[in-house]
Amino acid sequence: MELSSADFQDLLNKNDLCKGLFDSSPEAIVITAPDGYVVASNLKARELLGYLDGASLPQNILETYCNPAERCQLLSKLSEHGSVAGLELDLRHKNGSTINSRINVSVVSINEQSLFITTLTDITKLRASEVALRKSEEKFSNIFEASPDAILLLDKDSRIFDCNKKAIQVFGSSKEELLENTFLNFSPQCQPDGQNSRELVLSNISLVLSGTQLYFPWKQQLKDGTLLDCEVSFRPIKIGNEILVLCIICDYTERFRAQKKIELDEIRFEALYNLSKMRDKTSSEILEFVLEAAVLITESDIGYIYFVNEDETELTLHAWSRNVMPQCAVVEYPVVYKVENTGLWGEAVRLRRPTITNDYANCSEKRGMPEGHVPVIRHMNIPLFDNDRIVILAGVGNKSSDYTQEDVNQLTLLMEGMWQILRRKKADEALLHSYEELESKVLKRTEELTAAYENLKLNNEQIQREVKQRMVVEKKLQENANRFDLATRAGGIGVWERHLVSKKSIWDARMREIYNIGLDEGELSDDLWQSRVHPDDLFEAEREIQSAIERSGHFDSEFRIVWPNGEIRYIKASALVSYDESGKPQSMSGINIDITESKRMEEGLRRYEQIISTTPDLFSLVNSECKYVMVNDAYLNGFGRARESFIGSHIGDVIGWENFKKRSEPMIKAAFKGETVGYKVWMEIPIMGRRFMSVTYQPIDSLAGEERFVAINGHDLTALKIAEKDRQHIFEVSIDMLCVADFNDSFIELNPAWSTTLGWSTEELKQHKLSGLVHPEDKGRTLEIKKRLFSGESVHHFENRYQYKDGSWKWLSWNCIADLVRKQVVAVVRDVTMQKKMMEELKTLANTDSLTGANNRRFFIEKAKLEFERFKRYGGTICMIMMDIDDFKNINDTYGHDAGDVVLKELVRCCRETLRTTDIFGRVGGEEFAAVLVHGDINTAKLIAERLRRKLKKMEVEINGKVIRFTVSIGLACLSEKDNPSDNDYSLEGILKQADRCLYKAKQEGKDRVVWKL
């Protein structure tokens, strides 16, 4: 007789206990006939399959199968084993979605009819989490293997337990070779600072195993024997019950190389700066200083400097480095060499380019060295050009590593700075020689004037002897007075006479004009004259007048006067003293000339001549006929012509008539009209070659004022132009993001790296504010950084997130400095998104067991400590589970370690499904696991532990067609707020030990059981 649903309900209704268990079971239960007819289902089953609206399940359970063939597999297993446990299949929800489920089926007989009692578990989320877990494990493994740094796992004796691909690449050995060796087997005996590598590593490992993290510089020896500049970090990591050392080796070769270049640049800049202050030193001192700097910058042992003659056929030795002479045992060596007779070191002159020989011993071009010469291992030299002629041959040798183009550049820059100083020194010496010649001429002129003055004294004495004859010729003198007055007025000369006895003075009209004294200012007197003389010059002027009266009889002086309006004028005064027969002074007669304009022009011309004689600019002076009147030395050197070939020549004959008509003539005409004009242009100059010049045309008056000139100044901007182009090139090709922004948060200039990194075009970025693309969570920190910048601080390695064009975020690292004068910010920005991501993922990897994905022992203990502190603070109960797989070694021995790994993974999966999300679970040993149970009591903990044991016992792990079953032993220990805090077990370590002892007891009592202690 077939049992119907109603019949089954009657049976249940007759047994209250069975009915209660069936209806309230937390498991979904469906009872069917062997043909699939649904006899009964509980509320949990209808909820699982979506039949909660009063509708019953389909009449035949087969209608809920996504794949009906799976029903046949189920029936086959039932026929073979009598029950089915843990079978996974896909069921169809009422809404059509798929439910991943795990079922257990047992067969019972009621009223002589077989029924299938099926329990259903929804494992849809579990499967999704397993997929995610596998992807996460693959991801972490890829990060570990893709790390740019070599990573090793070491024990206390530096034996290598594991390594990544980068470590295999760095050490040049297979993974098997690495795992058979220690870290010390791949280390040099000593580090560069003299420390013993073995002692250093083992002492650091000892410190790390006690809980310390260490970072230290390291020279790593590669398989070919070369040493690699590194930074090594040691940190402790617990694997199972053993604490190992995680060793990360960062290759800093490129960073050290860049740092070394910066240090060499600083040395060169310091040398050039010191060189610029050596103008008063001798040429030998300059050469010796530069040579020692060259040896230092190129990291060489020896160096030399030779001067090259004009036809480049001879080399003259001017300096050897200090290190050479103590090592050199050559008795006699020539100072002058013929280029054609030189060997390898003369190639730079013959080839007219730098030469590098890093294997001197095997070089075929060398011709040998004299006996006692310093041994040469490596050699480099450069020819230095002045225009197109080689003037210096400089070389260095015996660097510990190979010479490179960078060494050539450093040596060339230093020698160019030296040559400019030597050229300037030569120019200064020529100027000094000219000055000495001028002094000689002035001295000669002074002697002539002194002789003239003596003659004047003789004439004055003659005049005094002839005073008696004055009355005779007075009339005639009066007749000539009018003519003299006309002459003095025409020459701007003021005539005066002072009667020394009566103290009265007579001035002509020109004298009143010179002193700016009107006719209405009263009688002329000494006081009035003194009021006009400049206070600083009055004492000296009166002293000279008194000296003339008392001794010389002749007054000749220059002094300044001050007009009532404050204007200062320069006066040249000359006078003679008249004496009576007894030799008493009677009167002084003299002249005054206003030389103000002449003085001003002389001063201006003196300054102007001093400037143009020393300036490196090309300076010339042309007259109204466009002919040269004057050119400076730089002009002569630039055109390679003698001064005589310029003076009187038309400018068009020198620069070319087409160029003159097109550029110079319009500019000269504008300058003669009083304008200062100019232009910038590339031009060919015979000796200097193609140069970018700034040419200025300026009007100049002559000293006398009767003729005007135009000064033409050519300033060489080539180096500035090239530097500007180089800077722009660096700005364009830099992989770092470079920008200039104003204080209003707007971009002024930015390089293409911004578009490459963030996806925005340059125009789009300039339309945004800098802070407009900052992540909302980072805007507060970014604003604080801006305040620091605007106060004058520089910012280094500030990190925030910036929006990519597709809406994602990039981590950027900022180095900024503010120009408070121009109100601009200059920034160098680097994309560090990948580094940040790798650090986060490495952090997760460090907390996770790499095989199972469970928390590793270190992270489990950290989280357990936090939970234990919470328990001590708030009370309640805390329970600790220690679990171990029974006879796990047999599984490894029977099925292999790969199968053992799969068992461990499946155990972790099952534990995660069984334990609550608030529980803390981790792998603390090889096959040993632990869990902290929170938010429950001892009874809940026992139920969870027992449920976990049963589920693991029922679980089947299928490997290559073979099914593996296993059991676990569980130790459980609990603490409650009622326990005595002074008890030895009232601690995390205590409860762990209690759980471990319970686990040991479970093993002793026969395994596959839970043992607990309250």
Element (H, E) at 864: helix 857-874
Alpha-carbon span 215 to 408, nearest angstrom: 36
> Which spans in 503-575 are helix H?
509-515, 526-532, 535-547
How do beta strands 504-507 and 493-499 pair? antiparallel
- Nearest Cα residue to 240 out of 856, 932, 906: 856
Q: Do 245 and 208 touch, CB atoms closer than 8 A?
A: yes
Mean pLDDT value of segment 157-176: 87
Predicted pLDDT of residue 447: 77
DSSP-assigned states of every residue in 216-276:
EEEEEE-TTS-EEEEEEEEEEEEETTEEEEEEEEEE-HHHHHHHHHHHHHHHHHHHHHHHH
Beta bridge partners of 904: none
Q: Do 180 and 171 touch, CB atoms closer than 8 A?
A: no
Q: Do 4 and 10 touch, CB atoms closer than 8 A?
A: no
Element (H, E) at 359: none
Predicted pLDDT of residue 999: 93
Amino acid at residue number 373: H
For 19-28, 203-212, 658-667, which range has the lowest pLDDT when averaged over its residues? Answer: 19-28
Structure tokens at 1006: 């026969």
Cα dihedral: 316, 318, 324, 329 (round 10): 50
Structure tokens at 139: 């991801």
Predicted pLDDT of residue 87: 87
Task: Identify the band that residue 942 occupies on the pLDDT scale cut at 50, 70 and 90.
Answer: very high
Domains of the chain: 5-129 (3.30.450.20), 147-255 (3.30.450.20), 278-432 (3.30.450.40), 492-598 (3.30.450.20), 614-721 (3.30.450.20), 734-838 (3.30.450.20), 848-1012 (3.30.70.270)
Q: Do 564 and 467 touch, CB atoms closer than 8 A?
A: no
- Chain segment 178-221, per-residue pLDDT in tens: 888 898 888 888 887 788 888 888 988 988 888 888 888 888 87
Element (H, E) at 738: strand 737-742
How do beta strands 795-803 and 747-750 pair? unpaired
- Long-range contact pairs involving 666-675 (C-beta distance under 8 Å, separation at least 24): 667/695, 667/697, 668/622, 668/626, 668/697, 668/710, 668/712, 670/697, 671/697, 671/698, 671/699, 671/710, 672/624, 672/699, 672/708, 672/710, 673/699, 674/699, 675/699
Mean pLDDT value of segment 46-70: 81
Alpha-carbon span 976 to 986, nearest angstrom: 9
- For the cut 60, the answer to whether the pLDDT of residue 916 exceeds it is yes
Alpha-carbon span 289 to 171, nearest angstrom: 44
Between 230 and 970, name the one with better pLDDT. 970
Predicted pLDDT of residue 140: 63
- Chain segment 560-618, per-residue pLDDT in tens: 999 989 999 999 998 888 888 888 888 888 889 888 887 777 776 667 666 676 788 88
Alpha-carbon span 624 to 28, nearest angstrom: 115
- Nearest Cα residue to 575 out of 593, 553, 560: 553
- Chain segment 482-523, per-residue pLDDT in tens: 545 554 555 578 888 888 888 888 888 888 888 888 877 766
- For the cut 70, the answer to whether the pLDDT of residue 332 exceeds it is no
Mean pLDDT of the chain: 83
Q: Residue 397, class by beta-carbon neighbours within 10 Å (0-12 exposed, 13-18 middle, 19+ buried)?
A: buried
Task: Identify the band that residue 278 occupies on the pLDDT scale cut at 50, 70 and 90.
Answer: confident
Amino acid at residue number 550: E
Structure tokens at 929: 């696991």
Tally of helices (H runs) and strands (E runs) in the chain:
32, 38
- For the cut 50, the answer to whether the pLDDT of residue 859 exceeds it is yes
- In three-state secondary structure terms, 705 is coil
Alpha-carbon span 394 to 291, nearest angstrom: 8
Predicted pLDDT of residue 696: 93
Amino acid at residue number 401: S
Q: Residue 708, class by beta-carbon neighbours within 10 Å (0-12 exposed, 13-18 middle, 19+ buried)?
A: middle
Predicted pLDDT of residue 1003: 92
Between 445 and 115, name the one with better pLDDT. 115
Q: CB-hemisphere CA count at 13 Å for 517?
A: 23
> Which spans in 37-93 are helix H?
43-49, 69-81
Phi first, then psi, for residue 185 (nearest 5°) are: -65, -20
- Nearest Cα residue to 935 out of 919, 913, 922, 947: 919
Task: Identify the band that residue 777 occupies on the pLDDT scale cut at 50, 70 and 90.
Answer: very high
Predicted pLDDT of residue 473: 46
Task: Identify the band that residue 901 occupies on the pLDDT scale cut at 50, 70 and 90.
Answer: very high
Tokens 């970014």 -> residue: 782
Check if 927 is active-site.
Answer: yes
For the chain, how long is the longest CA-to-CA vector? 185
Alpha-carbon span 121 to 160, nearest angstrom: 45
- For the cut 90, the answer to whether the pLDDT of residue 20 exceeds it is no
How do beta strands 968-976 and 1010-1013 pair? parallel
- Nearest Cα residue to 622 out of 597, 585, 582, 655: 655
Alpha-carbon span 293 to 291, nearest angstrom: 5
- Chain segment 539-554, per-residue pLDDT in tens: 998 888 888 888 878 8
Alpha-carbon span 738 to 814, nearest angstrom: 10
**pLDDT exceeding 70 applies to what percent of the chain?**
87
- For the cut 70, the answer to whether the pLDDT of residue 733 exceeds it is yes
Predicted pLDDT of residue 524: 75
Beta bridge partners of 151: 248
Predicted pLDDT of residue 226: 76
How far, in Å, are 123, 712, 1005 from residue 704 at the CA level? 111, 21, 127
Of the listed 288, 927, 956, 958, which one is catalytic?
Answer: 927
- For the cut 70, the answer to whether the pLDDT of residue 452 exceeds it is no
Q: Which residues are CB-contacts of 356 (< 8 A; sequence separation ≥ 6)?
A: 379, 380, 403, 404, 407, 408
Q: Rounded to a whole number, what is the distance in angstroms from the first to the last CA of the chain?
A: 54
Element (H, E) at 703: none
The pTM of the whole model exceeds 0.85: no
Phi first, then psi, for residue 150 (nearest 5°) are: -75, 130
Mean pLDDT value of segment 289-308: 86
Mean pLDDT value of segment 462-484: 56
For residues 764-781, b (16+ Cβ closer than 10 Å) or e, as one string?
ebeeeebeebbeeebeee
Predicted pLDDT of residue 598: 75
Predicted pLDDT of residue 296: 84
SS3 readout for 664-685: HHHHHHHHHCCCCEEEEEEEEE
- Tell me which DSSP letter residue 555 carries: E
Predicted pLDDT of residue 836: 82
Task: Identify the band that residue 998 occupies on the pLDDT scale cut at 50, 70 and 90.
Answer: very high
Predicted pLDDT of residue 839: 77
Alpha-carbon span 664 to 657, nearest angstrom: 9
CA 605, 608, 609 angle in degrees (round to 5)?
Answer: 85
Task: Identify the band that residue 442 occupies on the pLDDT scale cut at 50, 70 and 90.
Answer: low
Alpha-carbon span 335 to 313, nearest angstrom: 14
Between 394 and 342, name the one with better pLDDT. 394
Predicted pLDDT of residue 477: 47
Predicted pLDDT of residue 417: 82
- For the cut 50, the answer to whether the pLDDT of residue 1 exceeds it is no
Amino acid at residue number 637: N
Predicted pLDDT of residue 706: 59
For 140-149, 633-642, 764-773, which range has the lowest pLDDT when averaged over its residues? Answer: 140-149
